[in-house]
Amino acid sequence: CLSLRRIPDAHVSAKSPHYAEGLYDLNHCVYSWMVPNGSWGESNAGLIVGGGASLLVDTFWDLKYTRAMLDAMRSLTEAAPLKYVVNTHGDGDHFWGNELVKHAEIITSQPALKEMRRLNPKSMVLLGSVGKAFSEIKVLGTDKAGHWLQNMVAPYDFQSVSPAPATRTFEGKLMLNVGGRQVQLIQVGPAHTQGDLMVFVPDAKTLFSGDILFIGSTPVMWAGPVENWLAALDQILEMDVETIIPGHGPITDKNGVRQVKAYWEYIAAQVGHRYAARMSAVDAAHDIARSAEFADKPFANWNSPERIVVSTHTIYRNLRGQTGHLQPLDMLNLMWKQAMLAHELREAQ
C-alpha cells in the first residue's frame, strides 16, 4: 500500500491544536485521520487497507469534514476500494457522514443501530439556536453558557446531513476479511453509549477504540454503567496491541488506557459518595470539578471537563436502576447545566 505523509486540513480546535489535523500513516497499511484536540465533534477516524479492499472506521459530524477526509484518502481507496465502513457507536460525530460512503457495507452493533435511528441532526441545529438566543441574555452567566452551546456546533453544517445508518449489525464479535487481512470487531457497550465497539487489526497490533478512549480530553458517559467501561479498558490492557487510536484525542498506547481507567475509578468513587450523601447530580458534578483534590489530578487539565455533568447524571441514573434514553427536553436541560459549568471552568472549551 501507499505510504502517505500527514495531510493537514483546515479544521481548527477551539484551543490551539496540540497536533495537526490530517491523515497519519501508522505503518502496516493502517492510517488514522486525527482531529485536535478531542473536544465536542473533534473525533478521529481510520482506514485499514488490504489487497484490493479497505475498511473505513467512522465518519464525521457533517459532510464537509467527512469529504475532506475521503479526499485525502482517495489515492488509497482508488487502489483498494472501500468494502466496509464500521461505525464504532451511534453518536452523530461518528456516523453522520455515512451518506458519502453508502456504496460500502456499513456495519455497527445492534444497539448502536437503534441509537442511529433515533438521532436527528436537527437536534443540533436546535441546540445552536437555543445557545444563540441565550447568548443575548446577560444575567448570571447565561450569555456565556449560551455562547458555549452556540460555539460547540458552529463549525458544522447539520442542515445538509441525511443520516445513513448501518446496513448490517452484529453482537459480540465479528471477524471481517479486508483484502486478505483479518479485522476483528469487538462489542463492549453499553458504556459511553449503548452500542460501543472497537476495531482490532491483529497483524498491525493496532486498535481503533472508538469512544471507549478519550485521550487528553474528558470522557463522557451517556449510557454506562461505569463498570462496563472499566471492563472494556481492562480488555484493551490484556490485548496484544501497541498502537491505539482513540475516539477523541491523540494516538496513544496502553499508558493512555491506564490514564482513562484512573479517571473513571476516581469519578465513580467520588460520585458514589455524593449520591450516598443525597447531593443532587448537578451539585455533585460541580463539587467534584471545582474541588482542590480534583485540581491535583492529572486529568484536571484535560479539555472539556464540563462533561462530568453528563457522566455524573448517568451514574446517578444507573445507581437508581434507571436505563433507556433521556427525553429531548431532559437532554436539553442537561446540556444547559453542562454549559453553565463550562463557562466557570478555566479549562473548558
pLDDT, tens digit, 9 for 90 and up, residues 269-318: 999 999 999 999 999 999 999 999 999 999 999 999 999 999 999 999 99
User: For the segment 25-54, what is each residue's pLDDT rounded down to a tens digit?
Assistant: 999 999 999 999 999 999 999 999 999 999
Strands 22-25 and 30-34: antiparallel
Q: What is the 3-state secondary structure (H, E, C) of 221-280?
A: CCCCCHHHHHHHHHHHHHCCCCEEEEEECCCECHHHHHHHHHHHHHHHHHHHHHHHCCCC
49: helix, coil or strand?
Answer: strand
- pTM over 0.75? The answer is yes
Q: What percent of the chain shows pLDDT beyond 70?
A: 94
Q: What is the pLDDT of residues 143-180, one digit of tens each?
A: 888 888 888 899 999 999 999 999 999 999 999 999 99
Count of C-beta atoms within a 10 Å radius of residue 296: 8
Query: Cβ distance 115 to 222 under 8 Å?
Result: no
pLDDT at 231 over 60: yes
86 confidence band (pLDDT: 50, 70, 90): very high
Q: Give the least confident one: 111-120, 191-200, 331-340.
A: 331-340
Question: pLDDT tens, 233-275?
Answer: 999 999 999 999 999 999 999 999 999 999 999 999 999 999 9
Using CB atoms within 10 Å of the CB of residue 27, give its burial: 0 to 12 exposed, 13 to 18 middle, 19+ buried.
exposed
CA 49, 197, 173, 267 torsion-angle sign: positive
Q: Would you place residue 181 in the very low, low, confident or very high pLDDT band (cuts 50, 70, 90)?
A: very high
- C-alpha grid cell, residue 4: 502517505
Give the CA angle between residues 263, 269, 272 to the nearest 5°.
130
**pLDDT at residue 12 in the model:** 37
Tell how far CA 54 is from the center of its chain. 22
What pLDDT shows up at residue 8? 41
